[in-house]
Amino acid sequence: MSEQPLLVVEDDPGIQRQLRWCFDNYRVTIVDNRESALAAIESQHFPVMTLDLGLPPDADGASEGLKALAAVLDVAPHTKVIVVSGNDDRENAMRAVAAGAYDFYCKPIDTDELRLIVDRALQLHRLEADYRKLVSETRTRVLENIITASPAMEAVCRMVERVAPTDVTTLILGESGTGKELVAKAIHGLSERSDRELVAINCAAIPENLLESELFGYEKGAFTGALKRKPGRIEFASGGTLFLDEIGDIPLPLQSKLLRFLQERVIQRLGGNEDIPVDVRVICATHQDLQRKIADGSFREDLYYRISDITIQVPPLRERGGDIALLAKVFLDRYRKQFKRSCDRFSQEAIEVLTCQPWHGNVRELEGAIKRAVVMSDGAQVSPEDLGLLANDEHSLLSLREARDKAEAELLGKAELIFSGNITKMAEALDVSRPTLYSLMEKHGMKGVG
């Protein structure tokens, strides 16, 4: 292992010499005041530093040392700071630990002891850094499944990141095929329950008379055919996440039973009278307009409030500038490989037709269309005919201005993606000046403006 950097903040020349000798297996930088300590921390990463609390101008007190501590942690929150204080100043040492120092050490210095503390701090720093790296890698991997270049969907992803580590019940709303299930999976994947089960149940797909036993389970003899006890999906999800998909379709009688479970976090199996506690995180999704269902009496308002601590609205595909072209390309690559076809791009007309579709079935419909086109296509290019999207009414009805706006938004989205938002390169590729590019981006509500 190469020598690790260590920052020593100490104003006493005698102790400076002692520490340099003590840490001969470290690359030691010694400074004697707050400013130099900050300058050092800003110019280089130090996993560990020792900090004398009694720094000038308050060499007999701790005020300067405590200020230095706060300033250092502000810039380098992961640096392990070991505070060195006078033997009669444990109180300030404790204060420093409360303010974020990793440990403290009281003079006089026993070099063996101090070395042990510093070595241990370095080890912990390394472990924590590894852990942070792992967490951030998992984070990108999970969110990578949600392919997008649009600010609206980016906002959804940021929300997923914020909501995931908490246990709040989350309601995901959005048209059919927008990716609600993908969002639910991302929340679970980024949560502390990610190593446990994500149990999904589609409330619309199961007949009403079976849904109750499916959710809550049953005891032996609860009904004809209940030959042995069977735990339900909710119980099965214990420790993990329960995804109630199409919650808008759940019949009224079951809504009250579900409400009780959500309020009290206990369930009773059918034919049983024992309360079984369940520890699950609940995510619900629906494409239905719950407000309308509440108004017409087919959805309980109290249940609505219980499931919507946080609501995530997934935007329809047609409102995600740039995403149609991006997703089309991703699906083209995916199915081209799967079906071993040679088509690897869309013709210009195909892209125009694709981006002008309303895509009421959203991403799922787009994916289906591309899959079909790949199967149908026999050349290198996917044509509008392959897509089965010739003579689109809406397309021909677009005004020139609308068509231009759409094309602009599409192109900007693509350029932003290709050049990772680098304005100079984007402007060059699109052959416009930087100010023009900025105003275009602003017009289309794209980030990176400012």
CA-based nearest residue to 247, from 286, 212, 280, 213: 286
**Residue where the block lists tokens 């990463």:** 45
Tell me the C-alpha to C-alpha distance, in Å, between residue 447 and each of 106, 199, 415, 439. Answer: 52, 36, 13, 12
CA distance 328 to 413: 13
Taking the complex as a whole, how short is the minimal distance between the CB of residue 172 and Mg ion, in angstroms? Answer: 9
Taking the complex as a whole, how short is the minimal distance between the CB of residue 154 and Mg ion, in angstroms? Answer: 21
Q: Cβ contacts of residue 8 below 8 Å, gap of 6+? A: 16, 19, 20, 23, 28, 29, 30, 31, 49, 50
Backbone dihedral angles phi then psi of residue 372, each to the nearest 5 degrees:
-60, -45
Q: Which does 414 bind (CB under 5 to 8 A by kind): ligand ATP, Mg ion, none?
A: none
Size of the site for ligand ATP (CB under 6 A): 15
Site for Mg ion in 388-427 (CB under 5 A): none
CA atoms within 13 A on the CB side of 9: 32
The pairing of strands 230-231 and 217-218 is antiparallel
Taking the complex as a whole, how short is the minimal distance between the CB of residue 375 and ligand ATP, in angstroms? Answer: 17
- DSSP helix/strand/coil, 314: coil
Residue 48's Cβ-count burial label (10 Å; 0-12, 13-18, 19+) is: buried
Residue 408 and residue 440 in contact, taking contact as beta carbons nearer than 8 Å: yes
Taking the complex as a whole, how short is the minimal distance between the CB of residue 188 and Mg ion, in angstroms? Answer: 14
Q: Which does 177 bind (CB under 5 to 8 A by kind): Mg ion, ligand ATP, none?
A: ligand ATP
Taking the complex as a whole, how short is the minimal distance between the CB of residue 338 and ligand ATP, in angstroms? Answer: 14
* One of 181, 197, 309, 405 touching Mg ion (CB under 5 A): 181
Residue facing Mg ion at closest CB distance: 181
Q: Cβ contacts of residue 35 below 8 Å, gap of 6+? A: none
Residue 166 or 176 with smaller CB distance to ligand ATP? 176
* One of 148, 150, 213, 357 touching ligand ATP (CB under 6 A): 148
Taking the complex as a whole, how short is the minimal distance between the CB of residue 178 and ligand ATP, in angstroms? Answer: 4
Site string for ligand ATP, 330-369 (x = CB under 6 A): ---------------------------------xx--x--
Q: Which does 364 bind (CB under 5 to 8 A by kind): Mg ion, ligand ATP, none?
A: ligand ATP
Residue 248 or 384 with smaller CB distance to Mg ion? 248
**Amino acid at residue number 41:** I
Tell me the C-alpha to C-alpha distance, in Å, between residue 154 and each of 137, 146, 159, 174. Answer: 18, 9, 9, 15
Taking the complex as a whole, how short is the minimal distance between the CB of residue 193 and Mg ion, in angstroms? Answer: 20
| DSSP conformational letter for 315 | P
**Can you say whether the dihedral through the CA atoms of 288, 291, 297, 299 is positive or negative?**
positive
Site for ligand ATP in 176-195 (CB under 6 A): 176-182
Q: Which does 242 bind (CB under 5 to 8 A by kind): ligand ATP, Mg ion, none?
A: none
Site for ligand ATP in 26-55 (CB under 6 A): none
Site string for ligand ATP, 260-299 (x = CB under 6 A): ---------------------------x------------
Q: Which does 182 bind (CB under 5 to 8 A by kind): ligand ATP, Mg ion, none?
A: ligand ATP
Residue 281 or 287 with smaller CB distance to ligand ATP? 287
Q: Which does 367 bind (CB under 5 to 8 A by kind): Mg ion, ligand ATP, none?
A: ligand ATP
Backbone dihedral angles phi then psi of residue 203, each to the nearest 5 degrees:
-65, -20
Residue 142 or 278 with smaller CB distance to Mg ion? 142
Residue 146 or 242 with smaller CB distance to ligand ATP? 146
Q: Which does 174 bind (CB under 5 to 8 A by kind): Mg ion, ligand ATP, none?
A: ligand ATP
Q: Cβ contacts of residue 45 below 8 Å, gap of 6+? A: 5, 76, 79
Taking the complex as a whole, how short is the minimal distance between the CB of residue 180 and Mg ion, in angstroms? Answer: 5
CA distance 153 to 158: 9
Residue 164 and residue 150 in contact, taking contact as beta carbons nearer than 8 Å: no
Q: Which does 293 bind (CB under 5 to 8 A by kind): ligand ATP, Mg ion, none?
A: none
Taking the complex as a whole, how short is the minimal distance between the CB of residue 181 and Mg ion, in angstroms? Answer: 4
Please state the three-class secondary structure of 358-426 as a single string.
CCCCHHHHHHHHHHHHHHHCCCCEECHHHHCCCCCHHHHHCCHHHHHHHHHHHHHHHHHHHCCCCHHHH
Contact between 365 and Mg ion (CB under 5 A)? no
Residue 384's Cβ-count burial label (10 Å; 0-12, 13-18, 19+) is: buried
Binding site for ligand ATP (CB under 6 A): 146-148, 174, 176-182, 287, 363-364, 367
Binding site for Mg ion (CB under 5 A): 180-181
